[in-house]
């Protein structure tokens, strides 16, 4: 794992993002002691699903409190669309996605490719591809596969890696980044 930050994410930009954003007093949890912390009083997320034709642009945390309705709205967008099954997304994953979005210093939403996957959907995808994990964190609503217009896989993964809060997988050929709140690790190109 590289410790350098992509040139598009400057130290000044990083500090500005901390001061102006929604990543204040983030919860400390196993394997994520370096989680992004800042001085803002809100956290927000902007994301869309082309497949579903739906989007979310919401504040989901204010002054140390998560907003249940916003968490459900995000979870609904991140549902298993094949089974039309909703599972509440782990708030730590939402925090990592939101922090990464802020660090990218853009108003562009993330495009969600995959969020929660039921065990049935995950098994079907495993039969189609060796890159799908048998015990995928997608099945516990702790992972998302994302891309962003105008940002490269490298830029997005660097932002996610700077959170030091979970797994970050780079899938350059497919143009997406996997983010999860599991153990700190990286993979891919």
Helices (H), 28-136: 68-77, 91-103, 119-128
For the chain, the farthest-separated pair of C-alpha atoms sits apart, in whole angstroms, at 45
Q: What would you report as the CA-atom Rg of the chain, rounded to the nearest whole angstrom?
A: 15
Global confidence as pTM: 0.77
pLDDT at 10: 39
Write out pLDDT tens, residues 131-149: 777 788 998 999 999 999 9
Residue 128 is part of which domain span? 11-188
> What's residue 7's pLDDT?
37
Residue 3 lies in a domain: no
Domain count, the chain: 1
**170 within domain boundaries:** yes
* Cβ atoms 147, 177 nearer than 8 A: yes
Phi-psi region of 53 (alpha: psi -120 to 50; beta: other; left: phi over 0): left
Beta bridge partners of 168: 179, 186
Pairing of strands 54-62, 143-147: unpaired
Q: Would 184 be classed as within a structural domain? A: yes
pLDDT value for 139: 85
Q: What is d(CA 174, CA 75) in angstroms, rounded to the nearest whole number? A: 24
Report yes or no on 2 lying in a domain: no
In a domain, 1, yes or no: no
4 lies in a domain?
A: no
In a domain, 5, yes or no: no
Separation CA 32–CA 172 (nearest Å) = 25
Is 6 a member of any domain? no
């Amino acid at each position: 794992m590289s410790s350098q930050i992509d040139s598009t994410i400057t130290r000044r930009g990083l500090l500005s993002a901390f001061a102006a954003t929604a990543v204040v007093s983030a919860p400390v949890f196993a394997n994520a002691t370096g989680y992004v912390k800042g001085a803002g009083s809100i956290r927000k997320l902007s994301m869309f699903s082309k497949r579903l034709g739906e989007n979310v642009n919401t504040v989901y945390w204010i002054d140390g409190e998560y907003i249940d309705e916003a968490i459900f709205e995000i979870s609904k967008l991140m549902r298993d669309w094949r089974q039309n099954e909703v599972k509440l997304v782990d708030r730590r994953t939402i925090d990592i996605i939101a922090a990464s979005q802020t660090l990218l210093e853009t108003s562009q939403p993330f495009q969600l490719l995959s969020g929660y996957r039921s065990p049935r959907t995950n098994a079907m995808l495993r039969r189609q591809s060796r890159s799908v994990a048998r015990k995928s964190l997608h099945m516990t609503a702790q992972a998302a596969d994302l891309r962003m217009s105008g940002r490269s896989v490298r830029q997005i993964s660097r932002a996610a890696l700077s959170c030091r809060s979970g797994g970050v997988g780079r899938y350059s050929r497919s143009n997406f980044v996997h983010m999860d709140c599991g153990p700190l690790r990286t993979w891919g190109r």
